[in-house]
Each structure stands twice: as C-alpha cells, then as structure tokens.
Amino acid sequence: MDWARILAYVTGTVDQELLARNEYLAAEIRILKAQLQGRLKLSDAERAMLGEIGHRLGRKALAEVATVARPDTILAWYRKLVARKFDGSKVRRGPGRPRLAREVEQLIVRMASENRDWGYDRIVGALANLGYVVSDQTVGNILRRHGLPPSCSKKPRTPALKPPTASLVTRERIDSRNPRSTQRPDCPCHEANRLCRA
C-alpha cells in the first residue's frame, strides 16, 4: 500500500504550503492594517466578496482570520448579499407604461423644431414612413415635455359652400319682389313667401 503513503505525503505537503501561504497573508494584512489610519472603507462588491468567503469559512475560522471587520459583520454582509439576490428587484419595473426610446423622442423633437408648421398628425405620418408607430397623443406629450408648442399655422376651417339656407333666403327675397317668379298661387309655399319646388 505505497499509494496511501504517497497520497498522505502529497496532501501533507500541499496542506503545509497552504498553511504557510495563509500565515504569510494574515501577517501582511496585519501590517497593512496597522499602517492605515481610521476605518477601512469597502465597496459593496468587496463586502459581498468577503461575505461570501467568510460564509464558506464559518464563524470560528473567521474569528481567527478576520481583521477587516468582526465575524458577525462579515456574515451580515453575506446575508444582505443573499437577500438582495432574491428580492425580485431584477424583475420589478416602475409603474406605468414604458417610455418611448430616446432616439425616437429626439427624432420627434427634431422634426417639430425643424418644421414648425407640422402638426402632431403630420409628425406621426413622417414617423410611420420611417417605420415607427407612435400616436399623435404621444407626440403631443413629448413636445409639451420639451417645451415646444403645437403648430400655430392651423387656419380655422371655412366651409367650401355656403349653407343652403342663406342662398334660399336670398332667392326668396328676389322671387317675392319679382312678379315673374316661379311661385304658383295654388302652392302652400306661396303664402309663406317661399320658392316653390313642386
């Protein structure tokens, strides 16, 4: 059974080498910590790393090795790391609808500022030609948020034709004065002084 002796010799030398390295590192840490003044400021990543290694070592081994902080503190760092890992914050989102992409928002603002006479619907159409689907309400909200007023070149709509009542009234007046009008005396609209269409 020479293999057992060889295995014990190899593991013993590896263990002795690891113990020597650990002793050297512990001494180096003590010397460096003695030269520091005040508390050692660690980042969250450094605390997480120390907490993870400290958890694997255990409280008793930490009591012998730890010089940065007490073993309870290092184990508390590990508990916070685990709690942060499983708190669901990676899945959680803010309330409401997600915002439009920044490039699309900048494109809307650029279109509105370069083309002052374009309304919301025209900007929506131009965006649709570029492949973006945005509503006119969204365009209006973005422009209000950036302090751009809506286009003021909108003219009030005038009807293409005059309302028919106005033209009939004018005709009635002309017809009532003209004896040769198309009114028939037997028609009931003759008495009301209206144009007969019968």
- Residue pLDDT, tens place only, 76-112: 999 988 888 777 766 667 777 778 899 999 999 999 9
Question: What band does 36 get if pLDDT is binned at 50, 70 and 90?
Answer: confident
Q: Three-class SS string for 81-148?
A: HHHHHCCCCCCCCCCCCCCCCHHHHHHHHHHHHHCCCCCHHHHHHHHHHHCCCCCHHHHHHHHHHCCC
What lies within 8 Å, CB to CB, of 51 at 6+ separation is: 74, 75, 76, 77, 78, 79, 80, 81
The per-residue pLDDT for 108 is: 93
Burial class (CB in 10 A: 0-12, 13-18, 19+), 195: middle
The per-residue pLDDT for 126 is: 93
- Residue pLDDT, tens place only, 154-181: 555 666 665 555 555 555 555 555 555 5
In the predicted model, is pLDDT for residue 43 greater than 80? Answer: yes
DSSP assigned state of 151: P
Q: Which residue has the tokens 């009234």?
A: 169
Q: Are 196 and 187 in contact (CB under 8 A)?
A: yes
CA distance 66 to 82: 20
Output the six-digit token pair for 160: 């293409």
* Whether pTM exceeds 0.75: no
What mean pLDDT is predicted for residues 31-56? 84
